[in-house]
């Protein structure tokens, strides 16, 4: 249940937390997110010492290992700037689970202060930067998959949609059971491959049924899962991170 959120006024500077999946597999999505923020006149700081939020270990029960890695993130976002994360899942981890991880410990206070500065990218664009997008792209039909953590932990499903609806030539297609999980679930996809395969196949069917040209999501885990499955099926539906998609369509190339 997302709490009633309050957003700060537009800051001078923000931190960007890439997430490890973006870092290694989708760097262009991270870069797009940073460029979108920079275009609004806000300086983006990318601490080179960031690694991973710790979620994979935390969700596998390896709590000490997760804490050790979380503390490393705390150490490199020390100034009082908002921390923007291009993932509902990792943002949810840092905003909601960090306080849980350190409850009752000596670090509780500073962890809570850290967590309260964490924002998912789309909510930051909509509520803090109040971004206005001008669509420069060709008409396209898009299906949006909002990750479960973006929808339920961060409560930013509406923000994802609001951004896509600002793009005048994007037709947002609605797939059946859009709230349903795609079956990624981190290690779940590997530990329960049969159930996961069934879920991703149903999700891909629902998306294909809309006639969309493109799948957009704010989370790389879901993109890897659904997109990987669409590719495996050789479906003619490409997939893109929401930040890349928005940047590509609103960024005037020189000349």
Partner 1 sequence: MQQRADFNHRVEQALGNAQLKASLRSAMDGLMASRKACFPDADALDALRLRGAQIRANALSKLPQLLQQLEQRCTENGIRVHWAESVDEANGIVLDIMRQHQAELLIKGKSMVSEEMDLNRFLESHGIECLESDLGEYILQLAGEPPSHIVAPAIHKTRQDIARLFKEKFPDIPYSDDVDTLTGNARGILRKKFYAARVGLSGVNFAVAESGTLCLVENEGNGRMCTTVPPVHIAVTGIEKVVEKLAHVPPLLKLLTRSATGQPITTYFNMISSPRKTGEKDGPKEVHLLLLDNGRSRIYEDSELVNTLRCIRCGACMNHCPIYTRIGGHAYGTTIPGPIGSILEPQKAGLDSLGELPVASTLCGACAEVCPVRIPIPRLLNRLRYERIRSDRDGASHGQGSGRTVKEAAIWQAWSWLHRSPRRYRLAMALATRLCKILPLGLGPWTRVRKPPRIAARTLHQRAREEGFNDR
Question: In this structure, is the dihedral angle defined by the CA atoms of residues 244, 249, 251 and 253, taken in order, positive or negative?
Answer: positive
Q: Which helix (H) or strand (E) element contains residue 44?
A: strand 43-45
Nearer to partner 1, 171 or 180 (CB): 180
Give the count of residues interacting with partner 1 (CB under 8 A).
76
Q: Candidates 21-29, 106-114, 118-126, 133-141 — which segment interacts with partner 1 by CB under 8 A? A: 21-29
Among 7, 11, 28, 178, interactor with partner 1 by CB under 8 A? 28
Instruction: Show the DSSP H helices in the chain as ranges.
Output: 20-24, 27-39, 55-59, 63-76, 88-92, 98-101, 108-115, 121-123, 148, 157-166, 188-191, 193-209, 220-222, 228-232, 242-250
Residues numbered 49-78 forming contacts with partner 1, rule: CB under 8 A: 49-52, 54, 56-66, 68-69, 71-72, 76
Write the CA distances from 95 to 83, 126, 187, integer angstroms: 10, 18, 21
Write the CA distances from 254 to 35, 144, 251, integer angstroms: 15, 29, 9
Nearer to partner 1, 65 or 213 (CB): 65
Residues numbered 170-229 forming contacts with partner 1, rule: CB under 8 A: 177, 179-181, 183-186, 188-201, 224-225, 228-229
Question: How far apart, in whole angstroms, are the C-alpha atoms of residue 216 and residue 240?
Answer: 5
44 is a site residue for partner 1 (CB under 8 A): yes
Q: How far is the CB of 213 from partner 1 (least distance, A)?
A: 19
Residues numbered 134-153 forming contacts with partner 1, rule: CB under 8 A: 148-149, 152-153
Site string for partner 1, 75-114 (x = CB under 8 A): -x--x--------------------x--------------
């Amino acid at each position: 249940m997302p709490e009633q959120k309050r957003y700060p006024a537009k800051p001078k500077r923000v931190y960007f937390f890439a997430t490890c999946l973006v870092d290694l597999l989708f760097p262009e999505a991270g870069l797009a997110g940073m460029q979108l923020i920079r275009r609004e006149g806000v300086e983006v700081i990318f601490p080179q010492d960031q690694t991973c939020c710790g979620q994979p270990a935390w969700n596998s029960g390896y709590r000490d290992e997760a804490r050790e890695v979380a503390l490393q993130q705390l150490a490199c976002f020390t100034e009082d700037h908002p921390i923007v994360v291009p993932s509902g899942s990792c943002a949810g981890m840092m905003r909601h689970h960090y306080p849980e991880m350190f409850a009752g410990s000596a670090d509780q206070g500073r962890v809570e202060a850290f967590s309260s500065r964490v924002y998912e990218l789309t909510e930051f664009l909509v509520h803090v930067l109040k971004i206005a997008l001008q669509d420069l792209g060709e008409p396209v039909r898009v299906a949006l998959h909002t990750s479960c953590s973006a929808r339920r932990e961060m409560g930013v499903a509406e923000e994802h949609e609001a951004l896509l609806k600002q793009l005048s030539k994007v037709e947002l297609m609605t797939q059946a059971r859009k709230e349903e999980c795609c079956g990624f679930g981190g290690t779940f996809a590997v530990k329960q491959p049969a159930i996961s395969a069934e879920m991703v196949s149903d999700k891909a069917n629902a998306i294909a049924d809309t006639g969309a040209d493109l799948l957009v999501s704010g989370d790389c885990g879901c993109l890897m899962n659904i997109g990987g499955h669409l590719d495996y099926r050789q479906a003619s539906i490409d997939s893109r991170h929401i930040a890349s998609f928005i940047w590509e369509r609103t960024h005037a190339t020189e000349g």
